[in-house]
């Protein structure tokens, strides 16, 4: 498989999109990270960053990072929602919510810095020189089937209507905050 980045700012739904890709293709997704919690919850390619996985999760930016890939999928989410999701993950793990007291203490100082990092991350990845596919998280939530069909065409992966129906039946996966 071509080495394909799945690049997103933390909290943008990268793990959810990996779940959808695995559901519809049956092919493992990889990651530059090696999170045992994620690996133990259905992501057998976690930690793989080679041509044996269909996409490789990354939150890194810069020319050195971009040059590692032949293709790129960039997932963009509203910055406030992405920053809030990442804030919750940092303080309460993949599925929890940070308590109000933590928000009150840490949120105001964090948002300005993170917003600028969000902006720089996407300016950087939109400079990718190879084939590039952009997915907006909100569109993926609202019309999952259509957005996934466009992604699968970009990835040049065949699928059947049965594959798509299977993915849609288990659309949420295990990595969704209640």
**Residue 22 corresponds to which tokens in the numbers above?**
């695995």
Q: Which pLDDT value is given to residue 93?
A: 58
Q: Which pLDDT value is given to residue 155?
A: 98
CA 69 to each of CA 46, 114, 151, 166, 173: distance values in angstroms, whole numbers, following the listed order: 17, 25, 17, 29, 27
Listed by start position, the domains of the chain span 4-170
Q: Which pLDDT value is given to residue 92?
A: 59
Angle 161-169/144-155 helices, nearest 10 degrees?
A: 130
Q: What is the pLDDT of residues 121-152, one digit of tens each?
A: 999 999 999 999 999 999 999 999 999 999 99
In whole numbers, what is the pLDDT of the chain averaged over residues?
89
Q: What is the pLDDT of residues 56-113, one digit of tens each?
A: 999 999 999 999 999 999 999 999 889 888 777 665 556 666 667 676 667 667 777 8
- Residues 74/122, Cβ–Cβ less than 8 Å: yes
Q: Which residue in 134, 138, 164 sits closest to 21, CA to CA?
A: 164
Longest distance between any two alpha carbons in the chain, whole Å: 49
Distance (Å, rounded) from C-alpha 167 to C-alpha 69?
A: 26
Q: Which pLDDT value is given to residue 96?
A: 63
Q: Which pLDDT value is given to residue 125?
A: 98
Residue 8 DSSP SS3 = strand
Distance (Å, rounded) from C-alpha 150 to C-alpha 133?
A: 9
Q: What is the mean pLDDT of residues 153-157?
A: 97
Q: In terms of pLDDT, which residue wins out, 99 or 26?
A: 26
52 sits in which H/E element: none
Q: Which pLDDT value is given to residue 147?
A: 98
3-state SS string for 2-64: CCEEEEECCCCCHHHHHHHHHHHHCCCCEECCCCHHHHCCCCCCCCCCCCCCCCEEECCCCHH
Q: What is the mean pLDDT of residues 41-65?
A: 96
- 4-170: CATH superfamily: P-loop containing nucleotide triphosphate hydrolases (3.40.50.300)
pLDDT at 167 over 60: yes
Q: Which pLDDT value is given to residue 104?
A: 64
Confidence of residue 160 (pLDDT cuts 50, 70, 90): very high
């Amino acid at each position: 498989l071509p080495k394909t980045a799945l690049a997103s700012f933390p909290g943008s739904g990268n793990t959810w999109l990996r779940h959808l890709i695995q559901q519809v293709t049956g092919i493992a997704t990889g990651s530059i990270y090696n999170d045992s919690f994620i690996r133990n919850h259905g992501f057998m390619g976690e930690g793989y960053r080679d041509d044996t996985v269909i996409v490789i999760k990354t939150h890194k930016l810069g020319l050195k990072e971009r040059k590692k890939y032949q293709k790129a999928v960039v997932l963009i989410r509203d910055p406030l929602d992405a920053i809030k999701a990442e804030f919750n993950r940092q303080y309460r793990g993949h599925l929890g919510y940070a308590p109000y007291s933590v928000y009150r203490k840490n949120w105001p100082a964090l948002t300005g810095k993170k917003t600028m990092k969000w902006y720089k991350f996407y300016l950087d990845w939109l400079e990718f020189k190879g084939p590039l596919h952009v997915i907006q998280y909100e569109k993926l939530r609202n019309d999952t089937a259509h957005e996934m069909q466009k992604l699968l065409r970009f990835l040049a992966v065949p699928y059947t209507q049965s594959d798509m129906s299977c993915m849609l039946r288990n659309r949420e996966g295990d990595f969704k905050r209640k």
